[in-house]
Amino acid sequence: MRCNSVVGSSALLIAVAGLGASSASAFVPWSNASGTADFFRWENGGSTNGLFGDPILVGGDTFVFHPDHFRAESINGGTSTTSDTLSVDLIVNTGRRFSGIRISEAGDYGVLTNGSVSASSVLSVEDLNRGRSASTLLLMDPAFPVDSGVGSWSGLGSLDLESLPPNWRRIRVTLSNELIAISEPGSITYIQKTVVGDAVAVTIVPAPGAAAVIGLAGLATARRRR
């Protein structure tokens, strides 16, 4: 983990724990770009290229995404790169504060004959009241690049805002992802954001001391909470 004044680029379990910025070239707002949840409200939700899609708020505490076109594919030689940056402003209710962020994401890939695939991710949070920020790279499994086989991948990372100067009350959460597929002549490679039949979800969970957590997890997490 590191705390920076400048947020890195390139990211899904995202969790924002609570107590008591994206590329400007283009921006695709969610259809529900603002709204109210249990312990916070959100504004300005969207992403640079719209690949994450629109979230669905489930049970008043879970955002569920279905990014079904977030894929890089290369056929018969060449490089394909697909990227997107999701951004949303969160404003905590009176008497509460955000205490942490964690993020996890999943997908699948294939390298058929010769080539390689890779995925990179960054989670960042900006304090819109105080001008400070923090960011972290996700730990990817398997380690990229991968140059053979078909399989699944995942990424994990976290930011503990309570270990930094506290009182994060109005924040911008940014998730940046880049997928790269490289193939050689006669081969096919691909890597995508979600496994078939899976989804991405942001879930709010009570934490000790009247806290709350926002989690970005796979569909299995969302199903457990429905």
pLDDT value, residue 199: 56
Question: Bridge-partner residues for 211, per DSSP?
Answer: 207
- Does residue 204 surpass a pLDDT of 60? no
Phi and psi at 14, nearest 5°, equal -95, 130
Q: How far is Cα 209 from Cα 226, in angstroms, rounded to an integer?
A: 24
Highest mean pLDDT among 58-62, 176-180, 190-194: 176-180
Burial class (CB in 10 A: 0-12, 13-18, 19+), 125: buried
Q: Between 150 and 102, where is the model more confident?
A: 150
pTM score over 0.85: no
pLDDT value, residue 213: 44
pLDDT digits (tens, 9 = 90+) for 125-170: 999 999 999 999 999 999 999 999 999 998 888 888 878 887 888 9
pLDDT digits (tens, 9 = 90+) for 1-50: 444 433 322 234 444 555 553 334 589 999 999 999 888 899 999 999 99
Domain range summary for the chain, segments of one domain joined by +: 15-225
Single-letter amino acid, residue 127: D
